[in-house]
Amino acid sequence: MFRKLRLGQYQIETSLDLQGMGLEPARHRLLEVLGQCQQLEIRSLLIRHGRGLQSQPPAQLKSHVCHWLGLWPQVLAYHSAPRPLGGSGTTLVLLRKGQQDKQHTRERIQKRLPE
The CATH number of the domain holding residue 67 is 3.30.1370.110
Angle between helix axes 60-71 and 23-40 (nearest 10 degrees) is: 40
- Count up the domains in the chain and report the number: 1
The dihedrals phi and psi of 19, each to the nearest 5 degrees, come to -60, 135
Domain holding 17, by residue range, is: 2-112
Tens digits of per-residue pLDDT, 14-72? 999 998 888 899 999 999 999 999 889 899 999 999 876 666 666 688 889 999 999 98
pTM of the model: 0.79
**Displacement of CA 55 from its chain's centroid (Å):** 23
Helix spans in the chain (H):
2-6, 23-40, 60-71, 99-112
> CA–CA distance from 23 to each of 51, 53, 56, 57, 113 (Å)?
14, 16, 13, 12, 49
